[in-house]
Structure 1
């Protein structure tokens, strides 16, 4: 699925962007949307995403995470499955109501030494960002999925040798869209 280009710390090489929609949250039920916690099933989903990312060598060096409770919980639960790593984690209000341009601005700000970057956010932005970045060499099934949106706990993997600062439309290969079984 994904090549293991991480580790050298040198500029150049493959950059991998993983766009993750948060795991299943509790219904609003009178709670402010930003404060909705993960449902029990969502907690299980988050752990399975972490295990899948670790198994695929998609361990991030930088995590950009929405400040919403459900995204922070998703990150915390999946991180427990990544082994003994300590990526830089940026929790930001910007990702809560972000559009594609907002996500791209954040991605473009990543240090060139970062090989794998994880964004934990919301729909429709995660799928729309993947569709925007997907170039002509992308997997057709993965592209079809992100064009219609993705369910909770779904991650899209994009790869490119283009430096983060130059990421924009059709710059990457969308190689995979994954969702652990519930």
Structure 2
């Protein structure tokens, strides 16, 4: 592989309870959720992680999660994608496949069950349910994002 590609897949931090579909998108992070995401960001900071791009759902809780991450880690570009909200793994794969090849460190902040399904399909591992605030670090085994698909990643680590 020319330039190793690393994919950071994160489920938003713990959020307040919502009421119905209209209230779901505006649920904010809890105090515990914020501190949990901050701890994950601190671990990544020690590893000198920086993101070339972050793909983020536009929901309040994912925006807040991304904001906490980027308060500690540099990000060249943040892209809010409506398609991530309530997405299935196939939709998430299509978003990844559209990323330009010069991006080597890609992050996605989203929601379950799509995020956990994506992790399973991408790595071929048994189902891992990412809990709020968990982040999976995946080494991509293809040269271009457009080639990413089922079983093209190796799970390196899960931070919680």
TM-score (norm: length of structure 1): 0.81
Maintained 8 Å contact 1:13/1:161: no
SS of the aligned residue for 1:32 comes to helix
Deviations 1:68-110 (A, max 9, x none): 000000000121111xx34210011111111101111111111
Maintained 8 Å contact 2:119/2:128: no
What corresponds to 1:43 in structure 2?
34
What corresponds to 2:151 in structure 1?
170
Distance 1:102 1:22 in 2: 18
Distance 1:104 1:58 in 2: 23
Distance 1:107 1:54 in 2: 24
SS of the aligned residue for 1:80 comes to helix
Distance 2:128 2:58 in 1: 25
> RMSD of the alignment, in Å?
1.7
Distance 2:106 2:43 in 1: 16
Distance 1:110 1:57 in 2: 22
Distance 1:170 1:67 in 2: 28
**By how many angstroms is 1:53 displaced?**
1.8
**By how many angstroms is 1:178 displaced?**
1.3
Maintained 8 Å contact 1:48/1:78: no
Maintained 8 Å contact 1:12/1:112: no
Q: Which consecutive residues of structure 1, in runs of 5 or more, have no partner in the other structure? A: 1-10, 136-142
Maintained 8 Å contact 1:65/1:95: yes
Question: Which has the larger displacement, 32-41 or 53-62?
Answer: 53-62
Maintained 8 Å contact 1:12/1:161: no
Call closer, same or farther: CA 1:116–1:80 in 2, change over 3 Å: same
Maintained 8 Å contact 1:27/1:36: yes
Distance 1:25 1:112 in 2: 34
- Of 15, 18, 21, which residue of structure 1 is paired with 2:8? 18
Moved over 4 A (4+): none
Distance 1:127 1:56 in 2: 24
TM-score (norm: length of structure 2): 0.92
Distance 1:29 1:96 in 2: 17
- Of 69, 75, 92, which residue of structure 1 is paired with 2:60? 69
Distance 2:3 2:141 in 1: 5
